[in-house]
């Protein structure tokens, strides 16, 4: 019988690419990881790894074994979920990864609701961008991730995961209410010489924002680059930049700014993703229910001070 722990190590190597990264993720030493994989090779009777320079690569036999390992791990998680569902109380620890806007605006209310309905369940939250969060989800570092998808940038459902959309969140242009940048522009092109506060390139929000500017005929002059929407809002409020902001923060954090609806009324999609075998776990269901209730309570509305281009 093949050892599940060693099979998981092989799968982690497939996901992460290096022995050092696997060792760090699983709290082993690289030599211990190498030893476990050598034992697995002896157990299977086939070569699982081949050296390519200073790195190792999985053989075709190893990739076949990884495919079966995915099925085994999913079945084990489903068994855990069924056992947990038979218990009278939802308990344990649920590890969630999310981006900053959601942590700021959604999760205080979610945590309050979870504490009221499921006091024996502890929720731990880590801030991660979507791609890094998916890596942690697939390697069981996280149980649930909250992700975001921007217009024109579809976020594919990863193999072995299950996704549920939560809400569509309108996106606005924010400019200062007063000063040299004050007043609502008639179109994005009027802001070609304006400084901007944007998310980094390579992030969904940052790539979408730059595409909007480029489609208007200019490359944005980015004065501040970072994933902090509150700092973006502060730079707008103090007259130093323009920014794109989601409706979730528009109601509470954008006093002193002028909001404008964008052409085509773009929205981002907020969603949850879990490993397929864990989707039926009562803790996962409880968190998804709390998220759905919270976003329904604060369904993004167009702020009353919003202009339209």
- The pLDDT value recorded for residue 182 is 63
Extract the tokens encoding 84. 């947990």
- The pLDDT value recorded for residue 306 is 55
Evaluate whether 106 touches 291 at the Cβ level (below 8 Å).
yes
In sequence order, the β-bridge partners of residue 174 are: 243, 259
- The pLDDT value recorded for residue 297 is 80
Q: What is the pLDDT of residues 114-164, one digit of tens each?
A: 999 999 999 999 988 888 899 899 889 999 999 999 999 998 888 889 999
Nearest to 196 by CA among 155, 240, 250, 161: 240
For tokens 């069981």, the residue is 140
Sorted by where each starts, the structural domains of the chain and their CATH numbers stand as 4-83 (1.10.10.10), 90-166+268-297 (3.40.190.10), 169-267+304-308 (3.40.190.10)
- The pLDDT value recorded for residue 110 is 94
Q: What is the pLDDT along the chain (309 residues), one digit of tens a residue?
A: 889 999 999 999 998 888 988 888 888 898 999 999 999 999 999 999 998 877 889 999 999 999 999 999 999 999 999 999 999 999 999 999 998 778 878 899 999 999 999 999 999 999 888 888 998 998 899 999 999 999 999 988 888 899 999 999 999 999 988 766 666 677 899 999 999 999 999 999 999 999 999 999 999 999 999 988 888 988 998 889 999 998 887 666 677 788 888 989 999 999 999 999 999 999 999 999 999 999 888 765 555 455 566
* Nearby residues of 284 by Cβ (< 8 Å), 6 or more positions away: 81, 94, 143, 144, 274, 278
DSSP codes joined into one string, 167-202: EEEEEEEEEESSSTT-S--SSGGGGTTSEEEEPPTT
Q: Are strands 267-275 and 144-149 parallel, antiparallel or unpaired?
A: antiparallel
Q: What is the pLDDT of residues 6-27, one digit of tens each?
A: 999 999 999 888 898 888 888 8
The helix/strand/coil state of 156 is coil
Evaluate whether 146 touches 271 at the Cβ level (below 8 Å).
yes
- The pLDDT value recorded for residue 308 is 60
Extract the tokens encoding 231. 């700092």
């Amino acid at each position: 019988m093949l050892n599940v722990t060693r099979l998981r190590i092989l799968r982690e190597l497939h996901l992460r690419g290096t022995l050092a990264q696997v060792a760090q993720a699983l709290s082993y030493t690289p030599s211990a990881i190498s030893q476990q994989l050598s034992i697995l090779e002896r157990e299977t009777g086939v070569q699982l790894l081949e050296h390519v320079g200073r790195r190792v690569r999985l053989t075709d036999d190893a990739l076949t074994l990884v495919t079966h390992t995915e099925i085994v791990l999913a079945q084990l998680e489903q068994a855990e979920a069924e056992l947990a569902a038979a218990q009278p109380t939802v308990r344990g620890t649920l590890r969630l990864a999310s981006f900053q806007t959601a942590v700021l605006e959604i999760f205080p209310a979610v945590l309050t609701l979870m504490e009221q309905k499921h006091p024996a369940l502890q929720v731990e939250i880590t801030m991660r961008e979507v791609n890094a969060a998916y890596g942690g989800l697939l390697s069981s570092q996280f149980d649930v991730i909250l992700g975001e998808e921007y217009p024109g940038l579809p976020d594919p459902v990863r193999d072995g995961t299950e996704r549920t959309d939560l809400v569509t969140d309108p996106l606005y242009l924010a400019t200062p209410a007063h000063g040299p940048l004050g007043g609502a522009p008639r179109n994005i092109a009027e802001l070609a010489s304006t400084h901007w506060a944007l998310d980094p390139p390579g992030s969904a929000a940052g790539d979408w924002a730059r595409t909007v500017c480029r489609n208007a005929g200019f490359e944005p002059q980015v004065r501040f680059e970072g994933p902090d929407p509150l700092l973006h809002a502060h730079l707008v409020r103090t007259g130093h930049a323009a920014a794109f902001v989601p409706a979730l923060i528009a109601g509470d954090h954008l006093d002193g700014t002028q909001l404008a609806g964008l052409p085509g009324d773009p929205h981002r999609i907020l969603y949850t993703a879990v490993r397929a075998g864990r989707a039926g776990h009562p803790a996962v269901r409880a968190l998804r229910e709390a998220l759905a209730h919270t976003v329904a309570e604060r369904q993004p509305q167009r702020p009353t001070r919003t202009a339209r281009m």
